[in-house]
Chains A and B, each alone.
Chain A
């Protein structure tokens, strides 16, 4: 028998992967991370401003592919790209509504 506490929360199991391209200083990025945290949504993030040199260039190119304006946060939820902290769009992409 599984220990219920060790299980991934059911609401996370069939949800798409979430990745945030963010800045460590940006208020919208912080708000987006806080929102996902409060919704117990797991996400990966990279604070692009804390990267340097080639590493930063490579990630900036990745961001541009999703969002040519290269603004932050750029949030990838499954196949969807959400530019900025837009709560309604995030919830929709996560199937929360």
Chain B
């Protein structure tokens, strides 16, 4: 059974918004990323971050299964996750400077 990007959007939104994490209001970008997450699940069996190179090993990539563990400090510091998928309310409202979010994942975490 495959999920559509709209279904994924609705599901994730329900879980994330109460925590203060919002989808970027750039819908085209969000849906492109959701499609990429679905593609990764088909390819690897898990929804790994579309903006990072996945190893294919779910355990090795546990920290970058979306929403990744780095999204919490990234949203706290920059108002956005690494992919600009999840953002703070302030980021969406243009009240946070939209700096490029640097990669926070330590390089030694890469399984290859």
**Chain A residue at minimal CB-CB distance from B35:** A25
Interface residues of A in 29-55 (CB under 8 A from B): 29-30, 48-49
Q: How far is the CB of A46 from chain B (nearest CB, A)?
A: 12
Contact, CB under 8 Å: B107 / A25: no
In the complex with contacts A25-B39, A25-B40, A86-B100, A72-B32 CB distance below 8 A: no
**Chain A residue at minimal CB-CB distance from B24:** A27
Residues of chain A contacted by B100 (CB below 8 angstroms): 84-86
Interface string of B53-89 (1 = CB under 8 A from A): 1100000000000000000000000000001110000
- The residue that A23 contacts in the complex, of B53, B102, B112, with Cβ under 8 A, is B53
Is A65 interfacial (CB 8 A cutoff)?
A: no
What is the bound-complex CA distance between A72 and B100, given in angstroms? Answer: 13
Chain B residues packing against A (C-beta within 8 Å): 29, 32-33, 36, 39-40, 50-54, 83-85, 100, 102-103, 105, 107, 110, 112
**Chain B residue at minimal CB-CB distance from A51:** B53
Residue pairs across A and B with Cβ atoms less than 8 A apart, 14 shown, are A25-B39, A26-B52, A27-B29, A27-B36, A27-B51, A27-B84, A30-B32, A49-B54, A69-B103, A69-B105, A70-B110, A71-B52, A84-B100, A84-B102
Residues of chain A contacted by B102 (CB below 8 angstroms): 83-84
What is the bound-complex CA distance between A57 and B84, given in angstroms? Answer: 28
Residues of chain A contacted by B51 (CB below 8 angstroms): 23, 25-29, 72
Residues of chain A contacted by B110 (CB below 8 angstroms): 70
In the complex with contacts A57-B112, A84-B102, A85-B100, A68-B50 CB distance below 8 A: no
